[in-house]
Amino acid sequence: MNRPHYILLPVNPLFIAGSLIIAFLLNLLPYGYWVGVPDFVALALIFWSIHQPRKVGIGIAFTMGLLMDVHDAALLGENALSYTLLSYFAIMMHRRVLWFRVWTQVLHVLPLLLLMQSVQLVIRLMVSGKFAGWTYFAESLSTAALWPVITWILLAPQRRAVNRDDTRPI
C-alpha cells in the first residue's frame, strides 16, 4: 500500500511559538516528579530542530531550558545545557532523520532523549551525589513513544490535500 507523499506548506512562525508555549505549559502541569512523565518541551524542541532547523535552534533551546530550570527549581543551567545539546544533535542529524518513516524516526529520537537525561543525571550526581535510579530514564521512553503523535499533530497545518480541488486556493 502506497502512502501519500505530502508537499508541506511553509510553517507559520506563530505556530512554532504557540507549540513551544503549549509544550511549556504541559510541563507546568502539577504531576510533580512522577516516573515516566514525558518532557513535552524536549519533544517540541527535537521536532522543530529536525523539521525547521533555521527557525528553531540552539538559542531557543537555551531559553526554554532556562525557563524549565526556573520552573523545576533546578540548578540554573542544568536544563539549558541539556536542551542545547539536544537541539544541537537534532540539527546535526535532521537531514538523515527526515528520510525515514515516522516509526523509524523514533529510533533516532530516543538516543537524543537518553543523552539529554544522561547530561542532567551527571549534573545532579556532581552536585548532590545521589543517583536517581534507573527508572529515571522512563521519561525518555515515554517521550519517544509520543513522537508519531506529535509529528502528526505538528505537521497537520502544513499538509496540502492529496487530490487538489480547483475551487480551493491550496
Q: CA–CA separation, 27 vs 41, rounded Å? A: 7
Q: So what's the pLDDT on residue 137?
A: 93
User: Could you tell me if 61 and 75 are in contact, meaning their C-beta atoms sit under 8 angstroms apart?
Assistant: no
Extract long-range pairs of 5-11: CB within 8 Å, 24+ residues apart. Answer: 6/155, 6/159, 6/160, 6/162, 7/160, 8/155, 8/158, 8/159, 8/160, 9/157, 9/158, 9/159, 9/160, 9/170, 10/158, 11/51, 11/52, 11/55, 11/157, 11/158
Q: What is the pLDDT of residues 33-84, one digit of tens each?
A: 788 999 999 999 999 999 999 999 999 999 999 999 999 888 888 999 999 9
More confident residue, 168 or 118: 118
Q: How confident is the model at residue 152 (pLDDT cuts 50, 70, 90)?
A: very high
Task: Check whether 170 has a pLDDT greater than 60.
Answer: no
User: Residue 164 has what pLDDT?
Assistant: 64
CA–CA dist 35, 141 (Å, integer): 11
| Whether the predicted pLDDT of 1 surpasses 50 | no
| Helix, strand, coil content of the chain in percent (nearest 5) | 65, 0, 35
Q: Does residue 6 surpass a pLDDT of 70?
A: no
Q: Where exactly are the structural domains of the chain?
A: 13-28+36-157
Query: What pLDDT, in 10s, does the model give residues 96-125?
Result: 999 999 999 999 999 999 999 999 999 989
Residue 75: per-residue pLDDT: 86
What pLDDT digit, counting tens, does each position of 20-46 carry?
999 999 999 988 678 899 999 999 999
pLDDT, residue 2, reads 46
